[in-house]
Amino acid sequence: MARASAQDPGEWVDGFLFVANRPALDFLNTKPVLAEGPTELLPNFDALERWLIASGIVNSARTKSLLRSWRHSAAAQAFLKELIAFRERLRSAVVRMEAGATPSDEFLKEVNARLLQYPPRTALRKREGRVVVELIFEPQEPADLWAPILQGVADLLSETQTQRLRQCESCVLHFFDTSKKGSRRWCSMNLCGNKVKVAAYQRRQRDGESR
Ligand SMILES: [Zn+2]
């Protein structure tokens, strides 16, 4: 991991990948296949804490210390377990969307039920002489962490440009293609793009030699 972050500081933040252009997909990508095989990057609540900070979801000192205080609680363990199971159902929904279908009714029902329980909360704030609507996130208990995650999921599920939603041609990662041409093929040039190009080059060399 340290090697990867040294190669590309923009894609790895504190051991997590941020290549997807959509928060819900970055969340999905917390189970990549690395050199050592499929890797769970959220094996415990400490890791989730680091991911929430790396992703920018948690940024206040108050929330950070709250997360720390929850670390060994049963509520935090239960939340993480549910969240990981949810991540895999989200994966199925994303795969369906990538195939041109809509997420299952069952999954939408689940997301809706959770949205009712953990709705996004907003507040009006003054910023540079103007009043703006800002999301507020002041969790009281581990389950409140659903709110910011669901918000990203709701944005993703209602995405209209689903043709830009894609899985990397060479690994399990998903991304939203924001390139001008819409021709992005890999999770990242460093992780897969170069690997594929090198393999193709080596194949050409080999085929050339055998002729
Ligand atoms: Zn890839």
Q: Quick: pLDDT tens for 153-165.
A: 999 999 999 999 9
- 131 CA from centroid of ligand 1 (Å): 42
* CA quadruple 65, 66, 71, 77: dihedral, nearest 10: -150
Cα–ligand 1 centroid distance for 189 (angstroms): 8
Give the distance (Å) from ligand 1 centre to CA of residue 12.
Answer: 14
Q: Are 29 and 174 in contact (CB under 8 A)?
A: yes
- Confidence band of 36 (pLDDT split at 50, 70, 90): confident
pLDDT tens for 65-118 read 999 999 999 999 999 999 999 999 999 999 999 999 999 999 999 999 999 999
CA of 117 to the centre of ligand 1 (A): 35
Enumerate the β-bridge partners of residue 16: 13
User: pTM of the full predicted structure?
Assistant: 0.87
CA of 57 to the centre of ligand 1 (A): 24
Question: How remote is the CA of residue 4 from the centroid of ligand 1, in Å?
Answer: 13
Return d(Cα 163, Cα 166) in angstroms, integer. Answer: 7
Q: Which residues contact 78 (CB under 8 A, 6 or more apart)?
A: 142
CA of 28 to the centre of ligand 1 (A): 13
